[in-house]
Structure 1
Amino acid sequence: MATSQVPPSVPWHFTELDDRLFQIRGRTFFFVAVLFAVILLVTFIFLYARWVCRFHQLTTFSAPLPVHRLPSSPPQQGLGATTIISLPITLYKPPAAKEDAPGAAANDAGECSICLGVFEDGEKVKILPPCRHCYHSECVDRWLRSHSSCPLCRVSLCIDPSNNLEMV
């Protein structure tokens, strides 16, 4: 007859547990203390380096520049309010569908490429002179305050003072 091996019984009562398995011995305590010290040292070095970088930035930016190295004013990013107001505003009229080109009506559908809203018949739209792209007035005005080009084709709308042309 074969003898079957019975697994040792598992103690289920807390008084039967051996606490010696959970003790921290000298070598383990040493490694835990060294690991904690290394983490603490790296944290302090990181914080010190961060403080030095911030202090260096503050002193660099607060120091006055020599007179001969003063930076010039940055170029204006957008258009002026008078230029934006002077752009023509018209009432939108949808293009007539062409009989000979079946896909032409879908391609010519009026849509503001800034807000992606469809133009309604009789709605006010602003047309940019160099490229003839049209947008909602509010959308393109907000765009032109920070940019000086058409949002769709990026043609420049800046006034060129050397030429006597209205738009470049």
Structure 2
Amino acid sequence: MAAAQELEMQSFHWHNTELDDHNFEIRGRILYFFVVLSAVVLLVALFLLYSRWLCRLIQPSLANAPDAPPSLSQGLDPTTINALPIIMHRLKSTPDVNTVGDEENECCICLGEFEDGDKLKILPKCRHFYHGECVDRWLSTQSSCPLCRNSLRVDSVVPSPISQ
């Protein structure tokens, strides 16, 4: 029994100075599979990068195609933006038809208060108004009112049925 305990003690006796690397060997077959696997991973990564580049190259040309449907996030054209009515902001003490009341006294785009003499643009469908520069920037990228999201696009007019 003493021999078994002594054998057990010797098998767990380690020295930090002894390094046993005899079991770590790279044989020809393992090296071959490692090289092939690395090449396959590299080729797949290159293929994905190439396909991403190709999609980005083709994408803008598809957006300019005449048959492409208009994007909903696309803004309005500059002529439509410039055609919006402009009014001057005046204090409520001087009533006028073109005067904006005090119920809305700040631009919800820039959060700046309207001051006397500011040029405001009114959106035709919802009658919300904003600083001219603010709403121009907004409408160049979006086609809806910033406040109520009412669309400002002019859709094709469908003729109404004539009542008899």
State the TM-score, normalized to the length of structure 1.
0.56
- Matches of 1:24 and 1:130 in 2, distance apart? 83
Deviation (angstroms), 1:73: 2.4
Contact 1:94 1:109 in 2 (8 A): no
User: What letter matches 1:81 in structure 2?
Assistant: P
- Alignment length (residue pairs): 125
Cα separation, partners in 2 of 1:72 and 1:26, compared to 1, 3 Å: same
Aligned partners of 1:111, 1:139: CA distance in 2, in Å?
12
| Cα distance change on mapping 1:60 and 1:71 into 2, 3 Å | farther
- What is the match of residue 129 of structure 1? 124
Unaligned runs of 5+ in 2: 1-14, 59-64, 94-101, 160-164
Query: What is the DSSP-based 3-state SS (H/G/I as helix, E as strand, rest coil) of the residue aligned with 1:21?
Result: coil
The change in CA–CA distance for 1:71 and 1:80 in structure 2 (over 3 A counts) is closer
Given candidates 146, 156, 159, the residue that maps to 2:151 is 156
Q: Partners of 2:110 and 2:134 in 1: how far apart?
A: 7
Q: Distance in 2 between matches of 1:52 and 1:42?
A: 15
- Offset from partner CA, 1:104-149 (integer Å, 9 cap, x none): x7xx351111111121122111111111111111111111112211
Corresponding residue of 2:20: 25
The one of 137, 142, 146 aligned to 1:142: 137
Name the residue aligned to 2:114. Answer: 119
Gaps of 5+ in 1: 1-19, 64-69, 97-104
Change (3 A) 1:109 1:58: closer
1:74–1:46 distance in 2 versus 1, CA, 3 Å: same
The structure-2 alpha-carbon separation of the partners of 1:139 and 1:58, relative to structure 1 and needing over 3 Å to count, comes to: closer
